[in-house]
Amino acid sequence: MSSLFSRVKSVEQSIADTDEPDSKLRKDLTAWDLTVFGVAVVVGAGIFTLPARTAGNVAGPSVSLAFVIAAVACGLAALCYAEFASTVPVAGSAYTFTFATFGEFLAWIIGWDLMLELALAASVVSKGWSAYLGDFLDITTTVDIGFDFDWGAVLLIAVLTVLLALGTKISSRVSLVITSIKVGVVLLMIIVGAFYIKTSNYSPYIPDSVPSDTGSGIHQTLFSALTGGGDTDFGWYGLLAAASLVFFAFIGFDVVATTAEETKDPQRALPRGILGSLAIVTVLYVLVTLVLTGMVPYTDLAGDSTLTTAFEIRGVTWVGWIINLGAIAGLTTVVMVMLLGQTRVAFAMSRDGLLPRSLAHTGKRGTPARLTVIVGVTSAVLAAIFPMGTLEEMVNIGTLFAFVLVSIGVVVLRRTRPELSRGFKVPLMPVIPILSVLACLWLMLNLSIETWLRFLVWMAIGLVIYFAFGRRNSVFARRERGELASVSGPGEAPEVDLGKGPG
């Protein structure tokens, strides 16, 4: 069992692997491309699917505070991601970072976790896109075939899968155009909505807790169960639960890190893309939630409400129409970047042999087209079958777990490899990473017991796959057996060992 934690992949080896001809990604992205990707994926998932529903069903007007709490946790983790990404500019994000600090076993755990996060996130947002498309065209985007088959979500994922297979640079250009439209719509909504704010709607800012079937048994948050809080709808427990739910809105800056290997100047561009996109969207989120809950009483947002609900109630229907159009455009880029991130994580794992190495093949366009198609099909199936709420919480717990390991890992790598070139350094080391770990664990505690159980089941499945396939077939294992060359230390040349002994 000691080998589980001794297979640590050096930073040098990680970088050397990026030069393999058959699995080499094309370096096309700039700092501007990364910022666009970050804003594209973060603005949309939160603004167009979460604030109204969370305010009406869980937190009331305090949803704006919930976004601030989630933003603080994300900001702490983002600093750790920025240092890691500028130090180890290799595809895979938290998976690659974990391999360089904790070894193959924990790298597999986090990679398996990231696959859950990104595939489900793409599925969640595609369902939101489908709902907005139905409202915009006044059509039904689901078909009853024994269950509600969401054909709208499947159609979106299919189109974006083809686009991503054609090339990352093409995807970034499409993303820039659509993101510009989306941000313009958000700013319009904030400006127009501000004229309809009634300050009385902010009172009570934290509504009293109310009985709910989501606040008992396995449906209550783990923190609520441990402290005997009971209900999780509204009140302080509702606020804490809401912070964990709206955390989903900030998922995206970690996806920027998955494109490290395709970036021209990763040490400078990655920190700017990660931190810049997070700062922009945090301001937009807080303004949107303040306008939304100021326009109408939070009770009017109960049920499956959206941003258009508040404007329709106030009779400003033309803004609702524009919001629907912006949501359709905006959520398109969210799904696209999530699919991109999921593909790059699976690509890194395949190149390391933890998944079949044939999946890491890149074609003449410099993209893993085969793997892109597999990821697209999987996400489409999930979107077609599962309800949105279930998927959202699963995404959150997976992301938070990844943030915890990255925050710990940046401290470990700073101590074990202080000589490495770092384009960005986390300030106040190790205070910031420790605060990041505590904040993420706190948010995890405020997810439901049901979500924790599903997460543990997913992790158990991952362990079975690792011991049945990954541990024996990984590139690291083959190097240990002397079948492949390796880079064994800082600045050393590749060493070839075919297991034949000297001479």
* pLDDT per residue as tens digits for the range 333-384: 888 888 888 888 888 899 889 998 888 887 676 778 888 889 899 888 888 8
Mean pLDDT on 252-266: 76
**Pairing between strand 148-150 and 142-144?**
antiparallel
Mean pLDDT on 274-298: 90
Q: How far, in Å, CA of 53 to CA of 242, rounded?
A: 10
| Nearest by Cα to 298 from 312, 309, 284 | 309
CA triple 383-387-391, angle to 5 deg? 75
Per DSSP, 256 falls in state: H
Tell whether omega for the bond before 204 is within 30 degrees of 0, i.e. cis. Answer: yes
Provide the percentage of residues in the chain whose pLDDT is more than 90: 16
Answer yes or no: are the C-beta atoms of 193 and 292 closer than 8 Å: yes
The continuous run of DSSP H or E covering 433 comes out as helix 431-445
Q: How far, in Å, CA of 413 to CA of 319, rounded?
A: 50
Burial of 132 (0-12, 13-18, 19+ CB in 10 A): buried
Of the pLDDT bands very low, low, confident and very high (cuts 50, 70, 90), residue 213 is: low
Of the pLDDT bands very low, low, confident and very high (cuts 50, 70, 90), residue 46 is: low
Other C-beta atoms closer than 10 Å to the C-beta of 488 total: 14
* pLDDT per residue as tens digits for the range 220-231: 667 666 766 555
Tokens of 144: 């009853």
pTM of the model: 0.77
Q: How far, in Å, CA of 44 to CA of 232, rounded?
A: 26
Tell whether omega for the bond before 21 is within 30 degrees of 0, i.e. cis. Answer: no
Q: Within a 13 Å sphere around the CA of 433, how many CA atoms are in the beta-carbon half?
A: 20
150 SS3 class: strand
Q: How far, in Å, CA of 11 to CA of 15, rounded?
A: 6
Q: What's the per-residue H, E or C state across 39-63?
A: HHHHHHHCCCCCHHHHHHHHHHHHH
Q: How far is CA 75 from CA 247, 377, 413, in A?
A: 11, 33, 20
496 SS3 class: coil
**Greater pLDDT, 266 or 315:** 315
Q: How far, in Å, CA of 87 to CA of 271, rounded?
A: 10
Q: What is the pLDDT of residue 447?
A: 77
In the numeric block, the tokens 């996130």 are attached to 121
